[in-house]
A and B are shown apart, each in its own frame.
Chain A
Amino acid sequence: KAGVTQTPRYLIKTRGQQVTLSCSPISGHRSVSWYQQTPGQGLQFLFEYFSETQRNKGNFPGRFSGRQFSNSRSEMNVSTLELGDSALYLCASSLGGSFYNTEAFFGQGTRLTVV
């Protein structure tokens, strides 16, 4: 079956702009988690959605938001982009989410560059 699909793969934005990233989970998976990966900070948890509800949230400012649709596809949005938002954004899908302690499968990520 198809894996986790993230679009776009690469993105260049200007400071102050906003951006929307998309993640299509594995069919049947109801949980989508988002992570920011940078060389200095590693993998940082952004938020998790399960059945269209945000279940957990990491320590990121309100400029970072997300949502999940009824088909489990998820989007994350970053408003008023800053240079420090340049990173690889990864999403992971799992069957039941962290509550059920099930394996998470990652997409290849979206590489966002803010200039």
Chain B
Amino acid sequence: GESVGLHLPTLSVQEGDNSIINCAYSNSASDYFIWYKQESGKGPQFIIDIRSNMDKRQGQRVTVLLNKTVKHLSLQIAATQPGDSAVYFCAENKDDMRFGAGTRLTVKP
């Protein structure tokens, strides 16, 4: 069936480096994509979203790229900080919102 998935379960980066978290989706009809950050003991927190009529969207220190040709989504975090350590989920939305498995980002000081 259709699914959303993440390429890597864990990612470790040095403080100050840029991070890239990837996501593959299989429902070509999905038209809205969201990245969430979940810290331990908390619910997922919205980071940034992008609609299917866009290829790129930038926020504060974060950029989401959407490649509809290969059904790929990525989240780029610039100058990664210790506070960015969390699990990151991508989600695709068509009739309902479906989440990927999540990537745990660890930032080393």
Query: How far apart are the CA atoms of A2 and B22 in the complex, in Å?
Result: 32
Q: Is the pair A43, B89 in contact by a Cβ cutoff of 8 Å?
A: yes
Does chain A have a CB within 8 A of B96? yes
Does chain B have a CB within 8 A of A95? no
Which of A48, A106, A108, A109 is the one whose CB lies under 8 Å from B96?
A: A48
- Do most interface residues of chain A lie in helix, strand or loop, or is the interface mixed? strand
Contacts of B95 in A (CB 8 A): 56, 98-99
Q: Is the pair B31, A101 in contact by a Cβ cutoff of 8 Å?
A: yes
Does chain B have a CB within 8 A of A66? no
Does chain B have a CB within 8 A of A25? no
Minimum CB–CB distance from A23 to chain B (whole Å) comes to: 11
Known: A42-B101, A101-B31, A101-B32. A56 touches B46 (CB 8 A): no
Interface flags for B80-109 (1: CB within 8 Å of A; 0: not) read 000000000100011111111110000000
The total of chain A residues at the interface (CB under 8 A) is: 23
Does chain B have a CB within 8 A of A105? yes
Which parts of A46-83 form the interface with B (CB within 8 Å)?
48, 55-56, 58
Query: How far apart are the CA atoms of A104 and B31 in the complex, in Å?
Result: 15
Binding site for B on A (CB under 8 A): 4, 33, 35, 42-45, 48, 55-56, 58, 90, 92, 98-99, 101, 103-109
> Top 10 nearest A-B pairs by Cβ distance?
A106-B43, A43-B99, A101-B32, A56-B96, A42-B101, A106-B44, A108-B43, A98-B96, A109-B43, A107-B43
